[in-house]
Chains A and B, each alone.
Chain A
Amino acid sequence: MQVSFTRRRFTQVLLAAAAMAAAPLAALAGNRDAFKAEETDAALKALFGDKPVTAVDDLEFKVPDIAEDGSIVPVTISTDREGVKSISLLVDANPNPLSARFHFMPGAATEFKTRIKMGESSDVRAVVETEDAIYVATRNVKVTLGGCGG
């Protein structure tokens, strides 16, 4: 009786610990839904629920005014706002607007530079998530040659 109780308890604790360890990864995996959204609003809802989104312009958000080649549009986003947990990048006119979401551990430099595909001219959004609020900055990129290869 004593042995089976101990083994059962051990298994329970192990499973609970495994579930807790997997939780952050599961949370990240769960957000793949946002990548399937076909409108920016739906993607933001999938990411942040009904949290209000405030328009800001106090961050570095560099994109070209005109992109000759929509398949490689350079984007730089950097913010020195405190407590930033994630920065997401969305292209309104893309079939699936959410392009990337970067997660930052405390103390990490909250910035990145990458290149994205844009199918056509569009507004592009940098969405900064802190513990308390969601902030969005918008830029517009004119695309000469669409980058989705269709």
Chain B
Amino acid sequence: MEVKEVKMRGRLKGDEADIKCLMPHPMETGVRKDLDGNLIPAHFIETVTCKRNGEVFMTADWGASVSKDPYLGFKVKGAAKGDVVEVSWVDNLGNSSSGELVL
């Protein structure tokens, strides 16, 4: 697959950052069929890791029922200007990607 970076936008308000991410990914469930009637294999993000300045504060386990090109919004508590927020993912086929945002 063509692995794409995680796109991130964020706003720091006081000591809390509001982050929005978009993770381009097919998120195939494995039950869809192509035009020839063949099953398209399951291909979806399984784990997401969110870090602030290299320290994990949140992770997620996902199933294939998270929508295609997943959107993820979350908040970072105790954030400060200059903090690096990183979001990375690994899918069920071993692909991975990440993105980062400097507050």
Contact = CB atoms under 8 A, between A and B. Distances in A.
Name the residue among B16, B57, B58, B65 with the largest chain A CB count within 10 angstroms.
Answer: B65
A116 interface: yes
A144 interface: no
Nearest to B63: A35
Contacts of A71: 67-68
A71 B65 CA distance: 9
Main secondary structure of the interface of B (DSSP, over half): strand
Contacts, number: 96
B10 interface: no
Interface residues of B, number: 29
A102 B60 contact: yes
Contact of B66 (A109, A111, A117): A117
Contacts of B46: 32
18 contacts: A35-B61, A91-B65, A98-B63, A99-B63, A99-B66, A101-B61, A102-B59, A103-B60, A105-B56, A105-B57, A107-B78, A112-B72, A113-B72, A114-B67, A114-B73, A117-B65, A148-B32, A149-B32
Interface of B: 16, 27, 29, 31-32, 46-47, 56-68, 70-78
Which 5 pairs across A and B sit closest by C-beta, in order of nearness?
A113-B73, A109-B75, A115-B67, A108-B57, A35-B63
Given A95-B31, A100-B63, 10 more contacts: A28-B59, A76-B73, A100-B61, A104-B57, A105-B58, A108-B58, A109-B77, A111-B74, A116-B66, A147-B67
